[in-house]
Amino acid sequence: MFTRDSASPITVVTGGAGFLGSHLTDRLLAEGHRVIGIDNFITGSTSNIEHLAGNDRYRFIKADVSNFIFVPGDVDFVFHFASPASPIDYLEHPIPTLKVGALGTHNTLGLAKAKGAGYLIASTSECYGDPLVHPQKEDYWGNVNPIGPRGVYDEAKRFAEAMTMAYHRFHGVNTHIVRIFNTYGPRMRLRDGRVVPAFIGQALEGKPLTIFGDGSQTRSFCYCSDLIDGIYRLSRSDFHEPVNIGNPREMTIKEFGEHIIRITGAKHGLEYKPLPVDDPKVRQPDITRAKTILGWEPKVEFEDGIRETIEYFRPRVGK
């Protein structure tokens, strides 16, 4: 596949055809890396990587990393980003979600160890569950229901963190853990059920925006380019414990819906639906660690990021 040389690191991205995996791939290629993308297309899409066709620094392997992974040649770094990641996706694929967080993490760590490569796992703010500490700092252990519908994702990612630290401590692999908070931007799937594509899609299709519960629950939304920048910096650091990457600007879901209505000029208002089981009531990252260790903080204003995202979805609605 690729052979090691000092000029162009060889980097594997699992979930490489997904929303974040494909943005990460673009950033790595721009930084001069050679990239091997892996995806099984459960939730990823060829449309996210079709612009890479013919790029001689890019290779793609269609595989499920919950099974044994065979990557020929040298590898310098592994990013494990494969997983269903929206609540409706992991409700639809509960067992693949558990497997890719558990077995997929074991296999990708094994790949990194065998190749002498560095490693970064995409973990999540879901490790904090429905948090009793606000905002969430990395030293908070969380409040997770292991057997609820979200448990398949939350517990798989908590296991993934434990496995990653074990490979670091026991095998000396150079590992990193990012806890990703709500992120949005182009290449999200219109119908992945997450609030950003759901509300933008509804607004553009002339439907009311579906607020779950009373809309008083909060989220903090980070634009994808900011998130990828934090992750890239973390991958180059010598820090091994989890780091929150997200945007601390917090708002209620009702406020978020009102912003979408204002920006799109939608006319159909809000519609209230039942709150999903175990839906976290608050979420906001404490990014002190990222600021201190990585010199990172988000730069894209909510208004600008949302407008970019709306323009991405505009030609895709109604299809």
State yes or no: is 153 an active-site residue: yes
The long-range contacts involving 103-106, CB below 8 angstroms and separated by at least 24 positions, are 103/66, 103/67, 104/14, 104/65, 104/66, 104/80, 105/80, 105/159, 105/160, 105/163, 105/164, 106/163
Size of the site for ligand UDP (CB under 6 A): 16
- Would you call 62 helix, strand, or coil by DSSP? strand
Question: Quick one: 110 or 193, whose CB is closer to ligand UDP?
Answer: 193
SS3 content of the chain, % helix, strand, coil (to 5): 40, 20, 40
Per CB under 6 A, which region of 232-240, 262-270, 274-282, 300-308 contacts ligand UDP?
Answer: 274-282
Does residue 279 bind ligand UDP (CB under 6 A)? yes
Site string for ligand UDP, 31-70 (x = CB under 6 A): ----------------------------------------
* Cα 10–chain centre separation: 21
**Pairing of the two strands 175-180 and 183-184:** unpaired
Query: 140 φ, ψ to 5°?
Result: -85, 130
Least distance to ligand UDP, CB of residue 21, Å: 18
Among residues 58, 90, 119, 153, the one annotated as catalytic is 153
Angle between helices 94-115 and 151-171 (to 10 degrees): 10
Q: Which of residues 167-226 bind ligand UDP (CB under 6 A)?
A: 182, 193-195, 198, 210-212, 217, 219
Contact 148, 278 (CB under 8 A): yes
Least distance to ligand UDP, CB of residue 44, Å: 18
Least distance to ligand UDP, CB of residue 88, Å: 8
Does residue 99 bind ligand UDP (CB under 6 A)? no
Question: Quick one: 149 or 276, whose CB is closer to ligand UDP?
Answer: 276
> CA-CA distance, 231 to 207, in Å (whole number)?
36
Does residue 250 bind ligand UDP (CB under 6 A)? no
Burial class (CB in 10 A: 0-12, 13-18, 19+), 3: exposed
Least distance to ligand UDP, CB of residue 306, Å: 14
The residues that touch ligand UDP, with contacts defined as CB under 6 A, are 86-87, 182, 193-195, 198, 210-212, 217, 219, 253, 275-276, 279
Positions annotated as catalytic residues are 153
